[in-house]
Amino acid sequence: MSVEACCGPGRDAGAVPYRIEVTPRREAPRGMVRIPGGTFLMGGDDPGGRPEDGEGPVREVRLDPFLIDPACVTNAQFATFAKETGYVTEAEAIGWSFVFRQFATGGIMDASVPQAPWWAGVEGACWRAPEGPGSTVGNRQNHPVVHVSWNDAHAYANWAGKRLPTEAEWERAARGGLERATYPWGDELAPKGRQRCNIWQGAFPSAPSKGTMPVKSFQPNGYGLYNVSGNVWEWTGDWWGTSWAETADNPTGPAEGTAKVIRGGSYMCHDSYCNRYRVAARTSNTPDSSTGHTGFRCAAIL
C-alpha cells in the first residue's frame, strides 16, 4: 500500500502490464502559464501541518522560469491522446483500479484497504469508466482524467512535448506568488464563507459527495492556475522522500525510490482525517497505482 492509504491506496507489487510506447508530438506548448524564475519559500511548519510527511523545514528554493498547465489534463484531452496513440493505461491493462466505495457501480473485488475501508478495488474501473462497470465520462469531458498512474501521466506528457512538474515547480506555481500562505488564495479556507476548492463537505465518509468537478472550477490563483487545492491529487516528477531535512539542498528530493510525490489533495480530503489540501502538504503513491481521485497537469521548459 501507499505511504498514506487514506489519501491514495497503492497496488501491491506485481507483474508489469502491457505497455505501448508513444511517439512525442514535440509541438511547442500552447496555452500554458509562465511561472517566473527566482527564489521562493517552500514547505510549511504551521500548527495544522504534518511534519511526518516532510513538509518542513521551510527552505529557500531557487528555480528557473518554466511553463505549467493552468488546469489538470481533462478526459477529453486524454481521449485524444489514447485515440492517436492506442495507449492502454495501467488500470485498463491490469483490469481494475481503486474507487471510492460509495461510488462503485459493481465489480468490487477483494482488494480492501484496512486503513481506509472507504476504498475498494473495482474490476473494470479505469479512466473511461471511473466508477466501474456501466459508468462513463460522457458528461465529464472537462473534468480531470482519473485512474491514471504516474507511468500513464508520464507517457501523456512525453507525447504532448511536455513533462511532469517537479515538486518544487508544482508548489511554486500553486502558491500563486503568495509567501507562506496556507492555501493558494491566503490563510482562510473559506474567505467570507465562500468555498474556494473542491474538498469533502460534511461528515466523512458518510455524507454524499459529487466527486470531481470541471478543471476550471473556482477562481484561479495569482498565477492563473485552477484547482491546485482539492478536486484531484496531482502527480509530480519527483521520487518520495519522507524528510526534507535530509535533502534540504536538493529541491527535487531523492534521486530514486519506490513512490512518486503527489500534491494538492482531492475531493475526498477533510480536516477530520486529512488536511492535505494545504499548499505545503505532500504525500505519495507507487508509479503503477491509480485511483478515482488522482490526475495530473503538465509542465515544460521555457
* Number of structural domains in the chain: 1
Prior bond to 133 cis, omega within 30?
no
Whole-number Å distance between alpha carbons of 286 and 302: 29
Whether the pLDDT of residue 18 is over 80: the answer is no
Question: What average pLDDT is seen over the chain?
Answer: 88
Q: Does some domain include residue 97?
A: no
Q: Does some domain include residue 23?
A: yes
Give me the domain span that covers residue 175. Answer: 1-87+142-302
Cell numbers standing for residue 81: 491522446
Q: Does some domain include residue 147?
A: yes
pLDDT of the residue at 9: 78
Prior bond to 47 cis, omega within 30?
no
Amino acid at 287: P
Provide the pLDDT confidence category of residue 24 given band limits of 50, 70 and 90: low
The residue length of the chain stands at 302
Overall average pLDDT of the 6-24 stretch: 60
Whole-number Å distance between alpha carbons of 275 and 138: 31
Whether the pLDDT of residue 281 is over 80: the answer is yes
Q: Mean pLDDT lowest for which of 55-59, 114-118, 185-189, 228-232? A: 114-118
Q: Does some domain include residue 31?
A: yes
Overall average pLDDT of the 256-270 stretch: 90
Q: Which of 19-28, 236-245, 268-277 has the highest mean predicted lDDT (pLDDT)?
A: 268-277
Whether the pLDDT of residue 167 is over 90: the answer is yes
Q: Does some domain include residue 93?
A: no
Whole-number Å distance between alpha carbons of 6 and 117: 9
pLDDT of the residue at 215: 98
| Angle, vertex CA 294, rays to CA 201 and CA 116, nearest 5 | 60
Residues 69-107: tens digit of each pLDDT: 999 999 999 999 999 999 999 999 999 999 999 999 999
Q: Does some domain include residue 116?
A: no
Overall average pLDDT of the 281-289 stretch: 94
Neighbours of 59 (CB within 10 A): 17
Whole-number Å distance between alpha carbons of 144 and 290: 14
Q: Does some domain include residue 293?
A: yes
Provide the pLDDT confidence category of residue 2 given band limits of 50, 70 and 90: very low
Provide the pLDDT confidence category of residue 5 given band limits of 50, 70 and 90: low
DSSP result, the chain: --SSTTT---PPS-PPPP--------PPP-SPEEEP-EEEEE----TTS-GGGT--S-EEEEE--EEE-SSPPBHHHHHHHHHHH----HHHHHTEEEEEGGG--S-B-S---TT-TTEEEEET-SSSSTTSTT---TT-TTSBP-S--HHHHHHHHHHTT-BPPPHHHHHHHHHTT-SS-SBTTBS-SSGGG---SB---SSTTTS-------TT-S---TTS---SSBSSEEEEEEEP-S-GGGGTT-TT--S--S-EEEES--TT-BTTTB-TTSTT--EEE-TT--BTTEE---EEE-
CATH label of the domain that carries residue 242 = 3.90.1580.10
Residues 45-69: tens digit of each pLDDT: 888 888 888 898 999 999 999 999 9
Whole-number Å distance between alpha carbons of 83 and 23: 13
Percent of the chain surpassing pLDDT 90: 70
Global pTM exceeds 0.95: no
Q: Does some domain include residue 134?
A: no
Overall average pLDDT of the 207-230 stretch: 94
Residues 121-162: tens digit of each pLDDT: 999 999 999 999 999 999 999 999 999 999 999 999 999 999
